[in-house]
Structure 1
Amino acid sequence: MPPQPGHLIDAAPITTATSLDNLSLLESISNNLREHGYSVHLNALPHLLSHCLLNQAIATPSKEFRPASIGRRSKLSLQTDIRNDQISWINDSTVAGIAWIAWIAELQSYLNAHLFLGLFSFESHYAHYGPGCFYGRHQDAFHGDANRVLSLIVYLNPEWQAGDAGELVLYTGTSPEERLVIHPQFGTLVMFLSEDIEHEVLVTNKDRRSIAGWFHLNQSHGGLIDPPS
């Protein structure tokens, strides 16, 4: 059965970044990840970048979106009882993609310098959740399968209202009560350790757009440099 809305339990690592310069934002993200394993920032992305990404997500032809799968590589499968959104991978073929990748590169460089995470590569996609869509509780990586290290989400929904639903729930502790419910408001950035934080997307009542991405370790083998998942 699709997940239902919950309550905001722990909001300590949430920061409104409107008045902070980018260096302060990066420092706050780094500190949150070190202390909590996750970080949430409102209005985190530069305003023009957020709008550029939104416009590109809307302009991307529907044929370039495909049903999102569960699993990785040879074990991919469609399981619409768990996940039923549509995705389109981001590359550097558009102005929005180039600007996004440049912003991510700065973030990656800072986190590697201050957290020594060994982040090597990054992949991301636009995600579109239509009314009634959701993504059940899951982890982005399992312990011992350390390719995905750090997960990232950016929301692209102007004028989002509480009744629109589609919240992200982060399970931040060992008990069900320890969870953080995040509204998918425009410009909000969410980051968390991929192996440590289970999460889910609650049923949305209207079209909901976001970017989801992952930083990877270098998993080079057989002459192939970190083949993407």
Structure 2
Amino acid sequence: MDAIQLPKSWNVDQIIEDLDQHGFTVIDNAYPLNYVHALVKECTANLKLFRDAAIQSGVVSQIRSDHILWINDELKIAQQHIETLTALSQDLNRNFYLGIKEVEAHFACYNAGEYYALHRDNPQKKNDRVISTVYYLHEDWQEDWGGELHLQDKNEQWHIIQPKPNRIALFQSDLLHEVIQAKHQRLSITAWLRSGQNLF
């Protein structure tokens, strides 16, 4: 199998520098538009299979109200995104010695009124999520539609990241963040680069 090549828009040196200095980075124009169209089509075709993310093992959480669909081998288009993140993981491992071994991911749908309150993806380093990523795959977005990522960087500075189409937000999983209430359907892929150890 040929090695996955990162898209030209993924400036690895900039990604590494941003993560080192701030704990997060943003990649715009992440993929060619033909891939974006195919991915949106795959996502929307499966919306009926999404489940309420707030229900875990029968327990309802008050922290979130979005809907998700875990990505498996049958979702061929989304798998290409996971393969690209796996390739990026090799660069992150070389630079930060993270020991990332796998990527897990799900589609996420925030309908109007839905949100995800302040949280950390790896609180007190209790799991093996090292890097979190959100890829915004809707094809149109307006600033007054909400759904922004509100993120505190490693220097305790707060940032608002707009969910612009074809944008990836990538950040340390132990950083505090939230998804502000959406006013319009917002589609994305959330993925975590996982390791047996956290060394940031």
Same fold (TM over 0.5): yes
Partner of 2:195: 217
Contact 2:82 2:105 survives alignment (8 Å): no
Counterpart of 1:68, as a letter, is: A
What is the SS of the residue equivalent to 2:184?
coil
> Does 2:81 match 1:96?
no
Q: Aligned partners of 1:165 and 1:107: how far apart in 2?
A: 29
Q: Aligned partners of 1:39 and 1:70: how far apart in 2?
A: 30
Contact 1:49 1:100 survives alignment (8 Å): no
Partner of 2:3: none
Which of 26, 35, 50 is the aligned partner of 1:49? Answer: 35
By how many angstroms is 1:146 displaced? 4.3
By how many angstroms is 1:95 displaced? 2.6
Partner of 1:77: 59
Contact 1:25 1:44 survives alignment (8 Å): no
What is the SS of the residue equivalent to 1:212?
strand
Counterpart of 1:186, as a letter, is: P
Partner of 2:158: 179
Which of the pair has more CA radius of gyration?
1
Counterpart of 1:101, as a letter, is: I
Q: Aligned partners of 1:33 and 1:106: how far apart in 2?
A: 17
Q: Aligned partners of 1:209 and 1:85: how far apart in 2?
A: 10
What is the SS of the residue equivalent to 2:44?
helix
Partner of 2:25: 39
- Listed as ranges, the matches of 1:1-229 within 5 Å are 21=8, 25-62=11-48, 64-69=49-54, 77-79=59-61, 81-172=62-153, 178-195=157-174, 197-218=175-196
Contact 1:121 1:216 survives alignment (8 Å): yes
How many pairs does the alignment contain?
Answer: 191
Structure holding more strand per residue: 2
Q: 5+ unaligned residues in a row in structure 2: which ranges? A: 1-6
Q: Aligned partners of 1:199 and 1:181: how far apart in 2?
A: 10
After TM superposition, the score normalised by the length of structure 2 is 0.86
Contact 2:65 2:116 survives alignment (8 Å): yes
Q: Against the structure 1 CA distance between its residues 46 and 28, is the aligned structure 2 distance closer, same or farther, given a 3 Å change threshold?
A: farther
Counterpart of 1:201, as a letter, is: V
Deviations 1:186-206 (A, max 9, x none): 1111111111x1001111111
Partner of 2:4: none
Contact 2:23 2:154 survives alignment (8 Å): no
Partner of 1:10: none
Q: Against the structure 1 CA distance between its residues 33 and 78, is the aligned structure 2 distance closer, same or farther, given a 3 Å change threshold?
A: same
Contact 2:109 2:188 survives alignment (8 Å): yes
Q: Against the structure 1 CA distance between its residues 78 and 174, is the aligned structure 2 distance closer, same or farther, given a 3 Å change threshold?
A: farther
